[in-house]
Amino acid sequence: MTAVVNTDDRPKWLGYVLHGVSGLLTLAFVLAGGSKLMGAEMHVQNFQNWGYPGWFMYVTGTIEVLGAILVIIPKTRFYGAALLVATMIGAVITHIQAGEFPMIPVPLVLLLLAGFVAWNNKSAIGR
């Protein structure tokens, strides 16, 4: 007879929180990345105003959607969250350089949420 051993030493509530935050991140980044991939005029204007080439909007959208997909899958959650952390660092830096200080809280909160998910899934590295 084989005993089932729980190797996850996290409290059960933390698992629920991580699933919930991962779901929110997935929703946020599928919507944000998807609108970039569809060429929404708002994003076209923003990327032009920031001095980025047009193709960079599509790269950013692809990275956001890919990160969202990876975050929702438990085995790839760390990698997706780490990808989103890096992306949101770029977003915060972009807003600082553009002097768009009121815009900083949204990517900063997303960065912190993705960092929380990555930190709590770092044991998945190498699995």
Query: Is there a domain that residue 3 lies in?
Result: no
Number of structural domains the chain divides into: 1
Tell me the DSSP string of 78-92: HHHHHHHHHHHHHHH
51 backbone φψ class: left, alpha, beta (φ>0; ψ -120 to 50): left
Residue 82 has, within 13 A of its CA and on its CB side, a CA count of 10
Contacts of 29 by beta carbon, 8 Å cutoff, 6+ apart: 64, 65, 67, 68, 71, 84, 110
CA angle, 21 then 26 then 31, to 5°: 130
Residue-wise pLDDT tens digits, 52-63 = 999 999 999 999
Residue-wise pLDDT tens digits, 24-55 = 999 999 999 999 999 999 999 999 999 999 99
Chain centroid to CA 17: 16
> Which residue range(s) make up the domain with 44?
12-124
Question: Alpha-carbon distance 48 to 16, whole Å?
Answer: 40
Give this prediction's pTM: 0.88
Query: Is there a domain that residue 7 lies in?
Result: no
Query: Is there a domain that residue 1 lies in?
Result: no
Query: Is there a domain that residue 4 lies in?
Result: no
